[in-house]
Amino acid sequence: MGAGVSDLAAGMEAVGKVAGGAGLGELPELCAAEVLLHLDAPEICRLARLNRAFRGAAAADFVWEAKLPENYGYLLDFVDGAMEGRGGGRQRSLMGKKEVYARLAKAVPFDGGKKELWLEKSKGGVCIALSSKSLVITGIDDRRYWSHMPTTESRFHSVAYLQQIWWFEVVGELEFCFPAGTYSLYFRLHLGKASTRFGRRVCSSEQIHGWDKKPVRFQLSTSDGQHALSQCYLDEPGSWILYHVGDFVASTTEQPIKLKFSLAQIDCTHTKGGLCVDSVLIYPKGFQQEKVISSQK
């Protein structure tokens, strides 16, 4: 829609000149702000570079408050927690709404850095990531089965790598006050061990086995009675894949909703291995940044 913003600005400029020589620079800030209310955050920032009227309007609190989630005060509590003891950050009373939006659009770590939240920059939807270290993984403390592998391909700089195991299960929980809406939950997984050699990404597939024997089973349940159950075979070695577990609806910001989710392949007739478990991701429904595989119900 960036091209549309440019076309809008050019068209308004042309109309102004035809009408008597006045351009967009003569537009009252309040009128400019009314235009900005209909745009997404990146479009507001682009339009703010056009002239003084839009630049001034783009700093207005009421413009950015309309883009913030209704429970942004609750989200700022996590920012305060992340800054506690660091001596950084500004008092909320001194922060304009544009600054609040900008801060929440950056990753905000919580739970000892094992989880992060942020606002999706375009629409302002809440996104959450939970690292592999925040999940309960069967056999994770036994180095014969699992290892924590450092990598630049994870936002948490580390993934859990499965060498070989008979019983495979990963379970996680989260309690959070989501803005009202529908959300999708994914496991971010990778078959094979990726590394960099001579500046190029390479992926070792020698330990990949067992995932074509039985499908992996995904489950999601919520404290208000929502359930999702699906399954699929893990495939496409060498690529990070978001496996869709299910969707849930948050109906109110007043009460936290508790999520419980898992993936498992517990057929003990064969071993499985060669899998990287990076994280669990929760996005507003329809938003995704990587390839998604939808499981079968």
130 with 53, same domain: the answer is no
pLDDT in tens, 243-261: 999 999 999 888 899 999 9
Which of 16, 35, 64 is the endpoint of a domain?
64
What's the pLDDT score for residue 9?
A: 47
Q: Which residues contact 54 (CB under 8 A, 6 or more apart)?
A: 24, 27, 32, 35, 36, 47, 48
pLDDT > 70? residue 275: yes
Residue 296 covered by a domain:
no
139 with 283, same domain: the answer is yes
169 with 276, same domain: the answer is yes
Residue 280 covered by a domain:
yes
Which amino acid would we find at residue 168?
A: F
Residue 97 covered by a domain:
no
166 with 282, same domain: the answer is yes
**Helices 97-104 and 72-83, packing angle to 10 deg:** 70
The percent of residues above 70 in pLDDT, for the chain, comes to 86
C-beta separation of 186 from 283 below 8 A: yes
178 with 41, same domain: the answer is no
What's the pLDDT score for residue 278?
A: 98
Which among 179, 133, 191, 175 has a CA at the least distance from the CA of 261? Answer: 175
Which amino acid would we find at residue 141?
A: D
* 25: confidence class by pLDDT, cuts 50, 70, 90: low
Residue 131 covered by a domain:
yes
Residue 212 covered by a domain:
yes
Domain of 58?
27-64
279 with 172, same domain: the answer is yes
133 with 57, same domain: the answer is no
Supply the CATH number for residue 245's domain: 2.60.120.260
Residue 226 covered by a domain:
yes
Which of 64, 92, 110 is the endpoint of a domain?
64
Q: How many CB atoms lie within 10 A of CB 6?
A: 14
Residue 195 covered by a domain:
yes
Measured CA angle at 194 (ends 260, 105), to 5 deg: 50
Residue 84 covered by a domain:
no
Which of 42, 64, 86 is the endpoint of a domain?
64
129 with 255, same domain: the answer is yes
Q: Average per-residue pLDDT in the chain?
A: 86
What total of structural domains would you count in the chain? 2
128 with 60, same domain: the answer is no
The residue-averaged pLDDT of 177-197 equals 94
pLDDT in tens, 42-95: 888 888 887 788 788 888 888 888 999 999 999 999 998 876 655 455 566 678
In this prediction the pTM is: 0.85
33 with 170, same domain: the answer is no
CA distances to 101, 150, 216, 218 from 107, in Å: 12, 20, 30, 27
pLDDT in tens, 276-290: 999 999 999 988 777
